[in-house]
Amino acid sequence: MHLNIAIFFGLVAFCASHVYFQDDFSNADWQSRWVVSDWKKDSGEAGDWGLSAGKYFTDESKERGLKTLQDARFYDVSGAFDEFSNKGKTLVIQFSVKHEQNIDCGGGYVKLVGASGLSDQKNFQGGASETVYNVMFGPDICGYTKKVHFILNKSGKNHLIKDDISCESDEFTHIYTAVLNSDNTFRVLVDGTEKKSGPIPDHWDILPPKKINDPNESKPADWVDERLIDDPEDKKPEGWDDIPAEVVDPEAKKPDDWDDDLDGEWEAPKIGNPEYKGPWAPKKVDNPAYKGPWVHPQIDNPDYKEDAELYAFESWKYIGIDVWQVKAGSIFGHFLITDDFDTAQTQIDAVNAIREGEKKKKEDADAAAKAAADAAADADDDDDDDDEHDHDHDHDEVKPETPQAPEVPKEEEKPDL
């Protein structure tokens, strides 16, 4: 009976959870689900997108995503889903990024947009007239800056999280998760590891401060906030100011070839005086009138009003990528928007397994490349040895045969007359 009840509530929880958007690109027809923006096309600054699993993968159909293809370009693309509100619900935003180009400067984040923020996906854009969004989330890398952005738009203003959250910058797939909870808290996870969490009001300057300085109070004119003062009993020693900062170098000697008529009168160079102690200053002592730092009295801020729904937005309708990349090659995939963290965790586990597979593939490829390079080097050494042997053989001294002088016939002996 208890088991049946547990199963019943488990089924209720499963049925109550909802996946608003999901795309792992197992269906290769991505252009039927995503719309490439026209922004920057007229100026030739818009980059092309393609579908790729990258150089290292185990199952291409499960590991591919949208890939940026051209260097120094803007990339803008968006996908749509049924409009919803996350009031009273948990919202999980999750996706993966693979920077297999060893990215040096470029974004890797997504933007979530409400229905009123975008009437035509062809107009999705960044820049000065950027599409208004609810949330911007994901990694951004440029030089030594490697951080995870988490921006909430409230009352028409973008509010950046106050915390520094580091992102990954290697060439493997990493999964980024943002959670907005209905109790006005948040979480940020990278590869399933929590990087930051807490109450939203504490980590974003969205609300005015609860307390402000009392405008009717100011530091009293006689307030003493100097902790140390000159010792009134300390006196300058006699002769202190008579000690010169420099003295003539006692070891310096006039050069033998110095000519006073031609070179002028010789003067010995000066060196720092080891007896010189610098300008005199009296010692410091505790100030008996010291009252400590003055603290401005505070009062309740009349403009402060609690907002228990900082996590919530009335409308969610689109997810988009709006980034600039100096070096292209990033692959975006495993998009998920849901109200169920368990669903997100399942995907996190899958992507973490994919990353381990990528590392193994790269290790194998590196080992094979090294073996091939070593074999080629050995072959070059063998060729060099053969060439040297042939060269030495060609230069062996060969002594030519001495030609034989032709035999001169002897004169016939003449008889004596």
DSSP codes of every residue in 87-121: TTS-EEEEEEEEETT--SEEE--EEEE-GGG-S-G
- The tens place of each residue's pLDDT in the chain, 417 residues long, gives 554 554 444 444 445 689 999 999 999 999 999 999 999 999 999 999 999 999 999 999 999 999 999 999 999 999 999 999 999 999 999 999 999 998 989 999 999 999 999 999 999 999 999 999 999 999 999 999 999 999 999 999 999 999 999 999 999 999 999 999 999 999 999 999 999 999 999 999 999 999 999 999 999 999 999 999 999 999 999 999 999 999 999 999 999 899 888 889 999 999 999 999 999 999 999 999 999 999 999 999 999 999 999 999 999 999 999 999 999 999 999 999 999 999 999 999 999 999 999 999 999 999 999 999 988 888 877 666 666 666 555 555 545 555 555 554 444 444 443
In angstroms, the CA 295 to CA 219 distance is 8
Q: Is 261 helix (H, G, I), strand (E, B) or coil?
A: helix
Q: What is the model's pTM?
A: 0.76
Does residue 223 sit in helix, strand or coil? coil
Distance CA 121, CA 113 (A): 11
Question: Please, are residues 272 and 249 in contact by the beta-carbon 8 Å criterion?
Answer: no
Integer angstrom CA distances of residue 23 from 32, 94, 219:
12, 11, 61
- CA 189/CA 178 separation, integer angstroms: 7
Contact 322, 125 (CB under 8 A): yes
For residue 395, the model assigns a pLDDT of 55
pLDDT at residue 32, as a whole number: 96
Distance CA 184, CA 257 (A): 88
**pLDDT number for residue 386:** 65
In the chain, what are the domains?
19-206+308-367 (2.60.120.200)
